[in-house]
Structures are given as C-alpha cells and as structure tokens.
C-alpha cells in the first residue's frame, strides 16, 4: 500500500520531466533560427516561418493528442512524443536542404512537443483528482525551467558542434521523454475506459468508433455562435496564433539588423 500511495508522486515527476524535455523547446527556437540563418544562408522570412511553425505545433496538435489518448492512453501518447521528437531532430542532422526542415524539424518534432504536453497534463488529472490545480502548476513549471535551460544550452551546442550536430544531440535528449512516459502507468479509470472502448469491436471499427455519437456536438453550436460574436473570443484566437509568430519575428528583426551591421563593417 505504501508503494502505491507514493506512485502519484512518481507520475508527477515524470510529467514535470516531460514538460521540461518537450513543450519548453519552442522557447529556444530563436537560437535555432539565428543558427539556421548562418548555416544555410537562405531567405530570412522562410527561415522565420520554419521556427514559427515549430512554435505553433505544441498547440495545433491538441486534437491529434486527444485522439491518441482516447484510443490508447496517456503513456502511449508521451512515449510517441519522445519517438517523434527524436526522429524529427535526428533526421534534421542529415538534412542539407533547408526546405526539408519544414518536415523534420517543424512538423515531426513539433508534433512530438504537442503530444508530450497533452499526455503529461492529462495523466496528472487522473492521479490527483482532489488537487489538480496544484499538481498542474508543478508540472507546468517544468516548461519554465526549460525556458532558462534550453536557450543557453542550444547556443552552446550550436557553437560547439554546429547546427547538424546540435540537432542530433537534441534528438537524443528528447528521447528521454520515452523513459518518463513509461513511468506514467495508466490508472484504473483509464484502463477500464480503454478496455470498454475496445471490447467487442471489429478491428475495422475500432478507430472509427472513437468518432461515434457526433450528434452530441449539436449542443456546442449555440455556444460557439455566441462566443464568435464576442470581441474577447476573437482576441483570444489572435493571441494564440500571433504569439509564436511575433516572438520569432522579433528575433528575426534583431538578427537581420545584426547581419546588416556586419555587412556595413
């Protein structure tokens, strides 16, 4: 009994570690942006869009992450995130054409950060139903710690090993999310929900059954229309999509000004 009572703390540490390794990576995209400009000497706008897409993926992949959690469980979602982040960054080591980085770095690695965030947040809600606010704050603080660690770490890796070598090392670092995900043992509620969802269904209907009872969404429509009329709702959408873009373009302007000064000198 004592070991079982301590296991929620293990899950919380695993969630904190996952947030440190995954969702905090987009905050270091500015360092990667400057390194890519120096390495490939490509168009500044296209390079900025690459980092912006990577920064947006942790939020845009929420529906995919929720589908993985509903079909399987949170542990599978986090383990998949580690594999995707490792695959994306490790294959970026082999890339010599910057446009391919849109696939490897922005999409594949970015998808991994989204799965990591969703799985690590949902699992602590299962283990801490009485105090979800406190444990969620502790888990999210892993992102705050990553904001302090990743930018100087990435800068050191870029200067020491180059862009390609840094991508390979970052890929190995993010693979540790798989170890953290394996510690997220599905609780009794999640196991019963998964078994009930998969029990007695033909193999060709197991995935499509997740989308059953679509008529339930008709109750959401009035609220959606009502929210769409409010200024606050549209402001929220603009903020969600503009924050990653604005942060990258601010760093883009600074780096462009720096290159202009070097050219003049």
pLDDT of residue 234: 46
Q: What is the pLDDT of residues 149-196, one digit of tens each?
A: 999 999 999 999 999 999 999 999 999 999 999 999 888 777 777 666
pLDDT of residue 189: 74
| pLDDT at position 202 over 80 | no
What b/e readout covers 145-164, taking b as 16+ CB neighbours within 10 angstroms? Answer: ebeeebbebbbebbeeeebe
Cα gap 247→241, rounded to integer Å: 11
Whole-number percent of the chain with pLDDT over 70: 71
pLDDT of residue 84: 94
**Helix residue ranges per DSSP H, 22-109:** 29-40, 44-60, 62-71, 74-92, 101
Written as six digits, the tokens of 147 are 């904001």
- CA atoms 11, 16, 21, 24: torsion sign: positive
| pLDDT at position 85 over 50 | yes
Q: How confident is the model at residue 90 (pLDDT cuts 50, 70, 90)?
A: very high
| pLDDT at position 86 over 70 | yes
- CA atoms 112, 114, 115, 116: torsion sign: positive
| pLDDT at position 16 over 80 | yes
Reduced to 3 states (helix: H, G, I; strand: E, B; else coil), residue 124 is helix
Q: What is the pLDDT of residues 1-11, one digit of tens each?
A: 344 578 889 99
Cα gap 15→121, rounded to integer Å: 7
pLDDT of residue 187: 81
| pLDDT at position 50 over 60 | yes
Q: What is the pLDDT of residues 240-249, one digit of tens each?
A: 444 454 444 4
Cα gap 49→105, rounded to integer Å: 12
DSSP state of 185: P
| Least confident range of 9-23, 90-104, 224-238 | 224-238
Nearest Cα to Cα of residue 147 among 67, 64, 55, 70: 55
Asked whether the beta carbons of 106 and 57 are under 8 A apart, the reply is: yes
Q: Give whole-number Cα distances, 222 to 12, 214, 218, 226, 232, in Å.
A: 37, 16, 8, 6, 17
Q: What is the CA radius of gyration of the chain?
A: 21
Mean pLDDT for the chain?
78
């Amino acid at each position: 009994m004592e070991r079982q009572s301590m296991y929620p703390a293990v899950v919380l540490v695993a969630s904190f570690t996952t947030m440190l390794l995954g969702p905090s990576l987009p905050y270091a995209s500015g360092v990667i942006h400057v390194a890519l400009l120096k390495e490939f000497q490509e168009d500044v706008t296209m390079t900025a869009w690459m980092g912006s897409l990577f920064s947006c993926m942790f939020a845009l992949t929420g529906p995919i992450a929720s589908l993985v959690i509903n079909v399987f469980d949170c542990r599978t979602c986090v383990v998949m995130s580690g594999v995707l982040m490792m695959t994306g960054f490790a294959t970026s080591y082999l890339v010599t054409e910057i446009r391919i980085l849109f696939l490897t770095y922005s999409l594949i690695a970015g998808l991994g950060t989204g799965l990591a965030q969703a799985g690590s947040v949902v699992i602590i809600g299962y283990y801490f139903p009485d105090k979800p606010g406190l444990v969620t704050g502790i888990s999210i603080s892993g992102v705050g710690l990553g904001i302090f660690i990743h930018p100087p770490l990435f800068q050191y890796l870029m200067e020491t090993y180059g862009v390609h070598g840094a991508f390979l090392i970052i890929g190995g670092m993010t693979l540790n999310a798989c170890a953290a995900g394996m510690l997220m043992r599905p609780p009794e509620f999640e196991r019963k929900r998964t078994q009930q969802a998969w029990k007695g269904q033909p193999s060709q209907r197991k995935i499509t059954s997740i989308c059953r009872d679509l008529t339930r969404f008709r109750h959401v429509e009035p609220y959606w229309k009502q929210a769409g009329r409010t200024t606050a709702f549209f402001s929220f959408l603009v903020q969600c999509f503009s924050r990653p873009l604005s942060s990258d373009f601010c760093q883009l302007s600074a780096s462009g000004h720096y290159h202009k000064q070097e050219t003049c000198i």
